[in-house]
Chain A
Amino acid sequence: MKALGIVNFSGHHIYVNGLEDYRPIGAFSFLGRYRAIDFPISNLSNSGIERIQVYINKKPRSLAEHLGTGRHYNINSKRGRLHLLFSENGTENSLYDTDISAYMENMECIEAESAPYVVIAPSYMIYTQDFREVLKTHAESGADISLLYHSVDNARESFLNCDLLNLNKQKGVQSIEKNRGTAKNRNVFMDTYVMKRELFIDLVKKARKLSSMFTLPQIVNALCEELDIRGISHRGYFATVTDLKSYYDANLSLIDYKDAQTLFKEDWPIYTRTNDSCPTQYFNGSDVKKSVVSNGCLIGGIVENSVIGRGCTIKDGAIVKNCVILPDTVIGKDVHIENQVVDKHARVLHVKELIGNPQQPGYIKRNDIV
């Protein structure tokens, strides 16, 4: 079953303080060497979907740089295509800046494709999924639209910026609603859709006619009675990046190698752009435990329960605990930091102690010297 892959940006109800000032969520560094968007694109590529459209609505630099020609995603460079599509009319965070308006703006590119199906996946959720299986289930069920969801038991305190699916016993979708944290057992909508490309085009055009501010989940919700819309359950690792806490938690949740294997499978590579960094050097003063470390680092201090990005320097005597350290940062001599997200190129040199609260991790800005 041929499908066009679409990787979507996050709606304006989502904003990750700090990090998102510099790049869209898809371009966020994840687990040291990846970017969040590597997951949906690798899922599509591994599922044999080689024509992929990536929609970008703001701050395109780091994402465009990372995606490049897409050859690192194992996409055939002649038959396949990683197509970067920009939506330019919405001002940032404007209510008019919706996925529907991005699709409308690029409608000719969607219409020009030939695949009978579309698979739409978000750039801000972390999971692995073989879309061939989803397409098969979808086609066999005869549904008009299939939506991927993940059943969770912590919806009261987590996934608060996400949508939920209300399902009947036959997994028919009755409605899509915002998670207001009213119950713990919920079906979190993974913002992942499968449908016929023709239907998708109809939906986009219909949404635009109904309201200039409509989003794709809103039009799908509005059509729940008219169309046969079903949920498909996802199993395995699932995390969302919808605020700083969820970003921090998602990174730290993969520090144990066994847990990581629920996301990373031998036969399901996650591709990313290489940076040609050399291996990481550990000096005599280093003491690293329970951590994930990328290449190109120089480590002389203590690191515990942390994710260390590419090319970081952890100087002698430094203590880094429960932190997510983005690439190319420096943690200076004898600096003690805990429960922090340290953004790219930041240098923590002069402040000798920064202890955050794991429930509300701290954030150190990109390029900052503190």
Chain B
Amino acid sequence: MKHNNMLAMILAGGRGSRLHDLTNKVAKPAVSYGGKYRIVDFPLSNCANSGIDVVGVLTQYESVLLNSYVAAGQRWGLDAKDSGVFVLPPREKADSDLDVYRGTADAISQNIDFIDTYEPEYLLILSGDHIYKMNYDKMLEHHKANNADATIAVIEVPMKEASRFGIMNTDENGMIVEFEEKPANPKSNLASMGIYIFSWKILRKMLLADMKNADSSHDFGKDIIPALLNDGKRLCAFKFKGYWKDVGTIDSLWEANMDLLNKNNELDLNDPSWKIYTEDVTTLPHYIGEHADIKNAFITQGCVINGEIKNSVLFTSVKVAEGAKVIDSVLMPGAEVEEGAVVIRALIANNVKIGKNAVVGSADSEHIELVAKRVKGDE
């Protein structure tokens, strides 16, 4: 089925180095989230649900797992005849040498040939590492209705935090008059979400010029958006309301998981009209034993629970033995907590075992403890 004439490109090359050991072997978009998902499932599912057929995923850092993961487009229903997910790492070309992506804009510039084969009217640029649900088709309607050359999704942030973001200053019609990257004295609280719709012809011209500009850092926020404003192009802000999170640190990744425990959390992963699709794993449903005590938790298939779980998110196939306690914690896929062990305010990485009677994390720590290596317990 033909949908809108918009092609999406997901920037998924970043490492996310503040996630420490979690991104040693996988790029940040491939990090697990919410019990059964990977972060990149969100932009991909949003694309599928918004009627976008073709999605390019730009990968660079530790991309082996991410490349094969996103290439299986049927997970998101992106496998119809006119549809597909294309993995786009940097490549050698007949007329240019192999070069890394030097910035977000350069990643798109190096794939102009790919985009041209689809002759899209509009290009949607997304981040592969944000957690949110958004209908990009609505954003495209806004773009068209405002006769814009570029539309930037913005979200209201608390004024006192605005200096941490790229801030859009708009006129009374919602048109962007000024863009300030992390301003010391912000004039508005509309933060850029790093989600852009461009009319492709205009962006294409801009990218070709940017490639030749030796002074450019080839970044959308720093170079392309200011250049478009300088050129007098029509830039429009699209206000987004709802849950949106860029999980940059262990603390914020933990917090984003904890947000799911609120009874009326805004992300609402249970909404049948906007499902988030992910890899299908072959496991049993989760098993709750006779000694289990579960209060306020998010638990997924494959888990085997016989201990106490309070305020925690348990990912696929986590095991918690009898007498163990898991409190205010996030346990990534395959993590195991043996008998009598205690986990408090911690994030346990994939497949890590917490040995018998061991204690990790603490109730009054300032930061969440990341446990990425096996913790030995009583033998």
Contact = CB atoms under 8 A, between A and B. Distances in A.
A271 B300 contact: no
Nearest to B265: A281
A296 B277 CA distance: 13
A279 B34 contact: yes
B281 to A, nearest CB: 9
Q: Which of B280, B288, B292, B301 has the most CB of A within 10 A?
A: B288
Nearest to B296: A284
A283 B34 CA distance: 16
Interface residues of A, number: 35
Which of A270, A277, A282, A298 is packed against the most chain B CB atoms within 10 Å? Answer: A282
Nearest to B270: A278
B294 A286 contact: yes
Given A282-B294, A282-B297, A276 B288 contact: no
A320 to B, nearest CB: 12
B304 interface: yes
Given A271-B282, A276-B278, A294 B301 contact: yes
Contacts of A31: 284-285
Contacts of A170: none
Contacts of A264: 284
B296 A290 contact: no
B289 interface: yes
Interface string A265-291: 000011110101111111110111111
Interface string A210-233: 000000000000000000000000
Interface string B311-332: 0011000000000000000000
B287 A260 contact: yes
B290 A289 contact: yes
A32 B295 contact: no
B234 interface: no
A269 B283 CA distance: 8
A278 B282 contact: no
A281 to B, nearest CB: 6
Interface string A298-325: 1000010000000000000000000000
A293 B289 contact: no
Chain B, interface SS category: loop
Contacts of B282: 269-272
A292 B278 contact: no
B277 A276 contact: yes
B300 A280 contact: yes
A274 B276 CA distance: 12
Interface residues of B, number: 37
B296 A282 contact: yes
Interface residues of A, dominant DSSP: loop
Given A72-B280, A283-B263, A295 B301 contact: yes
Nearest to B35: A279
A46 to B, nearest CB: 11
Contacts of A291: 287-288
B215 to A, nearest CB: 47
A282 B35 CA distance: 13
Nearest to B315: A279
Interface string B259-282: 011010000011000011110101
A32 B362 CA distance: 36
Contact of B284 (A71, A260, A274, A277): A260
B168 interface: no
B299 interface: yes
Given A289-B290, A293-B285, A276 B299 contact: no
B285 A292 contact: yes
A33 interface: yes
B286 interface: yes
B36 interface: yes
Nearest to A308: B285
Contacts of A280: 286, 298-300
Given A257-B304, A290-B290, A292-B286, A282 B280 contact: no
A33 B287 contact: no
A152 to B, nearest CB: 25
B295 A284 contact: yes
A61 B263 CA distance: 35
Interface centre among A33, A257, A281 (most CB of B within 10 A): A281
Contacts of B35: 278-279
Contacts of B304: 257
Given A276-B276, A278-B270, A294 B299 contact: no
A287 B310 CA distance: 12
Contacts of B290: 289-290
Contacts of A279: 34-36, 269, 298-301, 313-314
A23 B280 CA distance: 25
Interface string B70-101: 00001000000000000000000000000000
B276 A278 contact: yes
Contact of B288 (A71, A288, A295): A288
A274 B300 CA distance: 13
Contact of A33 (B294, B296, B297, B301): B301
Interface in A193-218: none
Given A32-B285, A257-B289, A283 B270 contact: no
- The winner among B270, B296, B300 for most chain A CB atoms within 10 A is B270
B132 to A, nearest CB: 15
A128 to B, nearest CB: 13
Nearest to B319: A257
Contacts of A294: 285-286, 301
A277 B299 CA distance: 12
Nearest to B311: A284
A36 to B, nearest CB: 15
A54 B375 CA distance: 49
B194 to A, nearest CB: 25
A288 B292 contact: yes
Given A281-B298, A295-B301, 8 more contacts: A274-B280, A276-B275, A278-B36, A279-B301, A281-B260, A284-B295, A286-B294, A292-B287
17 contacts: A33-B285, A71-B74, A271-B282, A272-B282, A274-B280, A279-B313, A281-B298, A282-B298, A286-B295, A287-B293, A287-B294, A289-B289, A289-B291, A290-B290, A293-B288, A293-B299, A295-B36
8 interchain residue pairs of minimum CB distance = A279-B35, A278-B269, A279-B300, A274-B280, A269-B282, A32-B285, A294-B285, A282-B297
